[in-house]
Amino acid sequence: MFEFLIHVSIMACLYGLLSLSLNLQVGFAGLVNFGQVILFGCGTYGAAIAFSHQLGPVAGIALGIVFAVVVAAAFARLGRNLGADYWGIATLAVAEVLRILANNEAWLTGGAQGVSGIPLLFGDKPRPMGPLMTLGLCVALLIAAWWLCQRLTTSRYGLALKLMREEPQLAASLGYDLAVLKTQTLMVAAVLAAASGFVFAHYITFVGPDQLVSSETFLIWAMVIIGGSGNHLGAIVGAILMQFLFAFVPFVKDALGLPSEYVAAMRLTLVGGGLLVFLMWRTQGLIPERIGGKQNG
């Protein structure tokens, strides 16, 4: 049970990173990104490709970040003159195309079988110590990412992002280059997501295209909306809450004696129902965005 809790905590931290990253895009810059999971995938496949070419983990994280920045640049280029709903669908389409590529180009990605045997980060440590150290790393990463996001969004830069979200034309008239702002935000968010993917790959030790289905993106969306979009702490709380709820679904299923497809159905209901309830009755989420300047932010 102790090791299971550590596992869930590690996953919660990794999803927390993804949720922070999406929150930066959605909650602050107003970018409706439905392809978030592929930025995570850049990190996992960076680690996988570096491993299968015996390049070592440093090359892995570098590769992952390069992939993620390239994809983010492509997303930003697409978003230059698209409406939010068109852009959302376009990012979903790009993410699906890349997933299909990963599924079929076996020479590079291992195809549908994926890449397995990626070494654990602290594999040489005895049993309870290794996962604990991974958890420590994940918590440290999450805090660092939170600090970075906080610095970014309480500065003038953050105000520019919020202005772009609320009044894009006013922001443009004040001399902000919206295309540059969007590109920078997406790239910062992409690096956070890729970092999460890299650690994930070295923790689960397996990377495959099935980890990149679009329902993962919607799960991250639920974390952001339920936690409170536009609030970093909210995004982290949403991620931890959803991960722990998800982890205990199989126990509920066993307790009620239901067949195994109910696990998937219950998780879908949690994500979809949670999203819908919050969108309809509490759009600001559990921890609402703080409106105003530095004195209360």
Partner 1 sequence: MVQFVVDVLIRAVDLALIAIGLSSVYSLIRFPNVALVQYATTGALLALCLQMAGLPLVVAAIAACALVGIIAVVLNVIVFERLLRAGSAIAMIGSLALSMMFSAIFLVTAGPRPKRFELEINPPLRFLGARLTEHQLMSVGISALAIIVFALILFRTDLGRCMRATATNSVLASATGIDTRKVTNTVVFLSGVMAALGGIGLSVKGEMSAQLGLDMLLPVFAAAILGGLGNALGAAVGAVVIAAAETMVTNVNFGPLFGASVLFIPAAYATAASFLLLVVVLLIKPYGLFVSEVKRV
The residues that touch partner 1, with contacts defined as CB under 8 A, are 30, 32, 77-78, 81-86, 88-90, 92-94, 96-97, 100-101, 103-104, 215, 218, 221-222, 225, 261-262, 264-266, 268-269, 271-276, 279-280, 283
Nearer to partner 1, 96 or 289 (CB): 96
Nearer to partner 1, 145 or 220 (CB): 220
Beta-carbon count within 10 A of 272 CB: 12
Please, is 198 exposed, middle or buried when counting C-beta atoms within 10 Å of its C-beta (0-12, 13-18, 19+)? buried
State the nearest-atom distance from the C-beta of 183 to partner 1, in Å. Answer: 16
State the nearest-atom distance from the C-beta of 28 to partner 1, in Å. Answer: 14
Nearer to partner 1, 100 or 180 (CB): 100
Beta-carbon count within 10 A of 288 CB: 14
Please, is 186 exposed, middle or buried when counting C-beta atoms within 10 Å of its C-beta (0-12, 13-18, 19+)? buried
Contact residues for 112 (Cβ-Cβ < 8 A; gap 6+):
103, 106, 208, 209, 210
Alpha helix stretches (DSSP H) within the chain = 2-23, 36-52, 57-79, 84-104, 106-109, 129-154, 156-166, 168-173, 178-204, 214-227, 232-256, 261-281
State the nearest-atom distance from the C-beta of 125 to partner 1, in Å. Answer: 39
Nearer to partner 1, 20 or 222 (CB): 222
Nearer to partner 1, 30 or 158 (CB): 30
In angstroms, the CA 228 to CA 282 distance is: 9
Structural element, H or E, at residue 260: none
Please, is 148 exposed, middle or buried when counting C-beta atoms within 10 Å of its C-beta (0-12, 13-18, 19+)? middle
Nearer to partner 1, 96 or 148 (CB): 96
State the nearest-atom distance from the C-beta of 186 to partner 1, in Å. Answer: 16
State the nearest-atom distance from the C-beta of 267 to partner 1, in Å. Answer: 8
The DSSP secondary-structure symbol of 175 reads T
Nearer to partner 1, 57 or 111 (CB): 111
* Chain centroid, CA 221 distance in Å: 9
State the nearest-atom distance from the C-beta of 86 to partner 1, in Å. Answer: 6
State the nearest-atom distance from the C-beta of 7 to partner 1, in Å. Answer: 25
